[in-house]
Amino acid sequence: MRVVITGATGNVGTSLIEALSDEPEVEAILGLARRLPEWQPAKTTWAQLDIGADELEHHLRGADVVVHLAWIFQPTHDHLETWRTNVLGSIRVFDAVVAAGVPALVHASSVGAYAPGPQERPVDETWPTHALPHAAYGREKSYLERVLDAFELAHPEIRVVRMRPGFIFKRQAADEQRRLFAGPLLPNWLVRPGLVPVVPDLPGLRFQALHSSDAAEAYRLAILRPVRGPFNLAADPVVDAHTLGELLGARPVKVPVWPVRTAVAAAWKLHLVPASPTLVDLALSLPVMDTARARNELGWSPAYSALDAMRELLDGMREGAGMSTPPLDPRTGGKLRWRELVTGIGQRSTPPSEVP
């Protein structure tokens, strides 16, 4: 079996390559990425390309499965640029799958694609995928769900799987996630337990998480097994303010949303943080997902709890952990994070390692 992975050098891509490298049924892996890594895992070759601009079809020819992970979160100040890559680039991947005659497509959707859900119960994969329209991440993920609805009707011969995971963490991706969401002004030492006295207990603050290796295992199973359709992915427990307080040694304090959102909005407008206030809105609107279908039909069961995954994130941030791919390499931000600073913190999408 030959597997092609877009966005192969990121958080989930690296974990998936590690899982497939040990899989006897997989003979060859082609990793596609905007920047080539130093990392050279078994069975894997690399090709450098931009899914939004470069020719894709010849890279996909002969593949048994294409796993589409490529996604950019920045620049949050330019929604048109993220739309070009995330939406138009994804559509180019889907079209190339058809043109190359690939029989299976596994697409990385997200809990962020879902419409706000009920407080009293988890939702399964039939819940509407209509995220808050003013939040770019949710809007883009939801739009691609509609694109894939039409794609499946037009191409019933292609097996399409949609993964809808919660927040995905691992130690080696901690510095990348700090760059994408907190920015260069967050000191690593600040995430040490006991240094943050309180955690805001916001209305709607609850989310699901899982370890990157568990997400990769779900993708591995979807590659090998004749399944179709969407799968919710998350580990227990659901994370809320009290859980965060235990992790950080902090006391949950109930506060309304508006002062927190106002502070994030001000910091974002001043280019002090890359995460936009609409991401706060989206995070507070997420439903809790029922993962029974993944467990029953994929045979998937997470090896790590949500707390294990979050502890790895916090440990990795304190340690400046990473690995030798451009998105995950702690050196990507430059000494004293100067490359992050000169990109305008959420203003430009130029990869930090390519900033002159």
Nearest to 193 by CA among 238, 253, 246: 246
For CA atoms 195, 212, 302, 138, the dihedral sign is: positive
- Mean pLDDT of the region 288-298: 98
- Give the model's confidence band at 282: pLDDT under 50 very low, under 70 low, under 90 confident, else very high: very high
- The reported pLDDT for the residue numbered 349 is 60
Nearest to 115 by CA among 146, 84, 73: 146
% the chain with pLDDT above 70: 97
- Mean pLDDT of the region 187-210: 90
- The reported pLDDT for the residue numbered 194 is 79
- Mean pLDDT of the region 335-355: 70
- Mean pLDDT of the region 216-237: 98
- Mean pLDDT of the region 118-147: 96
CB of 147 closer than 8 Å to CB of 110? no
Q: Which of 194-203, 220-229, 265-274 has the lowest mean pLDDT?
A: 194-203
Q: 2-354 domain in CATH 3.40.50.720?
A: yes
- Give the model's confidence band at 188: pLDDT under 50 very low, under 70 low, under 90 confident, else very high: confident
